Amino acid sequence: MKKQPTHPVDSLTSLVKLFDVSLSANTIGSALLKAGVLREVSYLSTTGSGEEKHFREIPPAFLEFGVNRRTVHEFKTEPRFYAERFPELMIIVMKQLESEILALFSR
């Protein structure tokens, strides 16, 4: 039986450094959230405080760009992206930013 190929995945912060892009990981993450490549998931704090907290994950339709890596909490994940797909992610980010900039002119 052939072993499935593994693709290196990394955080947006690491990929920004690796590819030396001018945008911050936070800016890229926000644009991906608005474009639907990331989504925010709500959950109640595990401390019992009743506080609502959030984490981001890659929805199933966009798992071609990365994986949702489990954290210490079994219900919570962290998005990790395939380095080889990062240039395509940046195109999505730039299109999202362009649409936001164009919207400024119609205000």
Q: pLDDT digits over 66-90, tens only?
A: 999 998 888 899 999 999 999 999 9
pLDDT in tens, 42-60: 988 877 888 999 999 999 9
Write the CB contacts of 25 (distance below 8 Å, at least 6 apart in sequence): 11, 12, 13, 15, 16
pTM score: 0.87
DSSP letter string over 3-52?
A: PPP---EE-HHHHHHHHT-SS-HHHHHHHHHHHTSSEEEEEE-TTSS--E
pLDDT at 3 over 70: no
**Would you kindly state where each structural domain of the chain is located, as residue ranges?**
9-105
